């Protein structure tokens, strides 16, 4: 495992006291080279992060399990691992999870299953998304498959009819493909408002993820679960600090400001 600096390791000893975290991944590229796309990690980074979670005693339930259980159930360290979009390179990531007895939740864009993404290019990986057979196999191996709409659209700009179409059609498509209920959802681009959250509930989902940072259950509603994004620049040390602070603001200057505030308030 990659070495962790002493300060990050010391901080992480207190991690887990504020409840579960949800981690957000997108793509996992082969090898050790840092990907260009900010929302991708290398396979070496991913393995190191999984090994860290395992060594530090994190349980890794699916998002549906997190949302279904009472808050008090989640004692100790809990990290829900999620993947947005459904890139085919996620198959190798799934294998790494299985090797460690871990599970994760995938949010799939149902209108692009087995095909290249149809939403606007932003530097994301080339190639297709996971296909129906791959998703079924992942589900059979204990992974959860959730929805990420039909077309990966910004939901707040949709009228009520198209909003419900994106939610309901994606849910039905995935349920027909998998042969089981699809209960979990993630807002594309993290774009949501109260109307969207209500529509997600009306469409029959039990929980939904945002991209707001913080402890997963901070807002006391299953339709505004918070997540921590794992970026291409995250080392195992910064990953450990994210788990402790429940925040992306874990650069050393951020840590120094935090320490200064605590000193002044002591």
The reply to whether CATH 3.20.20.370 applies to domain 8-265 is yes
Q: Which residues pair with 87 in a beta bridge?
A: 129
The residue ranges of every structural domain in the chain are 8-265
pLDDT at 14 over 90: yes
* Rg of the chain in Å (alpha carbons): 18
Q: What is the pLDDT of residues 129-168, one digit of tens each?
A: 999 999 999 999 999 999 999 999 999 999 999 999 999 9
Coil, helix or strand for 179?
Answer: coil
pLDDT of residue 2: 67
Q: What is the pLDDT of residues 216-255, one digit of tens each?
A: 999 999 999 999 999 999 999 999 999 999 998 888 887 7
Q: What is the pLDDT of residues 70-89, one digit of tens each?
A: 776 788 899 999 999 999 99
Where does the pLDDT of residue 42 fall: very low under 50, low under 70, confident under 90, or very high at 90 and above? Answer: very high
| Closest C-alpha among 91, 73, 177 to residue 127 | 91
Q: What is the pLDDT of residues 20-38, one digit of tens each?
A: 999 999 999 999 999 999 9
d(CA 217, CA 204): 20
Largest pairwise CA distance in the chain: 57
pLDDT at 1 over 60: no
CA-to-CA dists, residue 115 to 88, 108, 185, angstroms: 10, 12, 21
Coil, helix or strand for 153?
Answer: coil
Where does the pLDDT of residue 266 fall: very low under 50, low under 70, confident under 90, or very high at 90 and above? Answer: low
| Closest C-alpha among 79, 108, 97, 93 to residue 227 | 79
Distance of CA 17 to the CA centre of its chain: 20
Mean pLDDT over all residues of the chain?
94
State phi, psi for 39 to the nearest 5 degrees. Answer: -95, 15
Q: How many CA atoms within 13 Å lie on the side-chain side of 181?
A: 8
pLDDT at 259 over 90: no
The pTM for the full model equals 0.95
d(CA 163, CA 172): 15
Query: Is residue 197 a contact partner of residue 224, using CB atoms and an 8 Å limit?
Result: yes
> What is the enclosing helix (H) or strand (E) of 83?
strand 79-85
């Amino acid at each position: 495992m990659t070495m962790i600096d002493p300060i990050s390791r010391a901080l992480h000893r207190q991690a887990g006291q504020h409840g579960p975290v949800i981690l957000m991944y997108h793509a996992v590229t082969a090898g050790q080279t840092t990907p260009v796309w900010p929302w991708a990690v290398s396979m070496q980074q991913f393995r190191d992060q999984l090994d860290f979670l395992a060594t530090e005693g994190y349980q890794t339930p699916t998002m549906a399990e997190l949302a279904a259980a009472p808050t008090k159930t989640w004692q100790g360290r809990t990290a829900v691992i999620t993947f947005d979009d459904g890139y085919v390179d996620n198959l190798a990531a799934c294998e790494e999870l299985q090797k460690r007895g871990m599970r994760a939740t995938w949010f799939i864009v149902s209108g692009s299953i087995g095909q290249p993404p149809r939403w606007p290019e932003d530097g994301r990986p080339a190639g297709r998304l996971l296909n129906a057979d791959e998703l079924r196999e992942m589900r059979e191996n204990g992974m959860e498959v959730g929805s990420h709409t039909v077309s990966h659209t910004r939901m707040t700009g949709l009228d009520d009819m198209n909003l419900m179409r994106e939610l309901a059609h994606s849910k039905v498509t995935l349920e027909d493909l998998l042969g089981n209920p699809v209960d979990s959802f993630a807002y594309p681009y993290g774009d949501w408002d109260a109307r969207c959250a209500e529509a997600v509930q009306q469409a029959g989902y039990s929980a939904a993820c945002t991209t707001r940072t913080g402890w997963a259950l901070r807002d006391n509603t299953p339709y505004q679960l918070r997540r921590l994004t794992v970026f291409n620049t995250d080392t195992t040390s910064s990953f450990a600090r994210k788990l402790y602070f429940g925040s992306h603001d874990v650069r050393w200057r951020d840590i120094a400001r935090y320490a200064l505030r605590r000193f002044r308030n002591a």
